[in-house]
């Protein structure tokens, strides 16, 4: 009986029913009922208990254990792929933002250089004209 296997494994590990209940997230009453055979566990509950006590091989056939491992590996791979995809998306977004900022900064510098190269000579000419006009004196009143 499964209840006897669970009880024996629990006692071999010096666990109380309460201790096993805390480790598995089940109630102490539920553990007691399982051990006494009053109620049968769901497959999910049985797997949780077996994994906690390390008795999967005593409860499940090797094929069932192997299927579980394959399912776990498949799930782990899918989760890993999702995490990688999210990380890649975040990294890509960060890189795009940095690149965009650098491009904007470089563009600003280039525009400033281009502006100075094109308009600096014009500004110099205007400046000369203004200073020339300031140095002129009126012939009639002799004022600048």
Confidence of residue 139 (pLDDT cuts 50, 70, 90): low
Q: Is-above-0.85 flag for pTM?
A: no
Note the pLDDT of residue 9.
86
Class of domain 2-60: mainly alpha
Average pLDDT, the chain: 80
Confidence of residue 91 (pLDDT cuts 50, 70, 90): very high
Note the pLDDT of residue 94.
92
Please report which helix (H) or strand (E) contains residue 67, including its range.
helix 62-135
Residue 90 CB: number of other CB atoms within 10 A? 10
Q: Which of 10, 14, 37, 38 is nearest to 24 (CA)?
A: 10
Check residues 27 and 77 and name the one with the higher pLDDT.
Answer: 27
């Amino acid at each position: 009986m499964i209840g006897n296997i669970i009880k024996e494994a629990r006692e071999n590990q010096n666990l109380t029913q309460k201790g096993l209940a805390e480790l598995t997230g089940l109630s102490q009453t539920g553990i007691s009922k399982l051990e006494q055979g009053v109620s049968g566990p769901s497959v999910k509950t049985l797997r949780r208990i077996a994994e906690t006590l390390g008795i999967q091989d005593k409860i499940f056939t090797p094929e069932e254990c192997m299927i579980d491992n394959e399912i776990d590996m498949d799930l782990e791979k899918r989760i890993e792929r999702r995490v990688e995809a999210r990380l890649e998306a975040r990294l890509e977004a960060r890189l795009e933002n940095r690149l965009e900022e650098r491009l904007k900064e470089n563009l600003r510098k280039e525009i400033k250089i281009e502006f100075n190269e094109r308009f600096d000579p014009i500004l110099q000419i205007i400046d000369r004209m203004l200073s020339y006009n300031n140095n002129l004196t009126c012939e009639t009143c002799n004022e600048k």
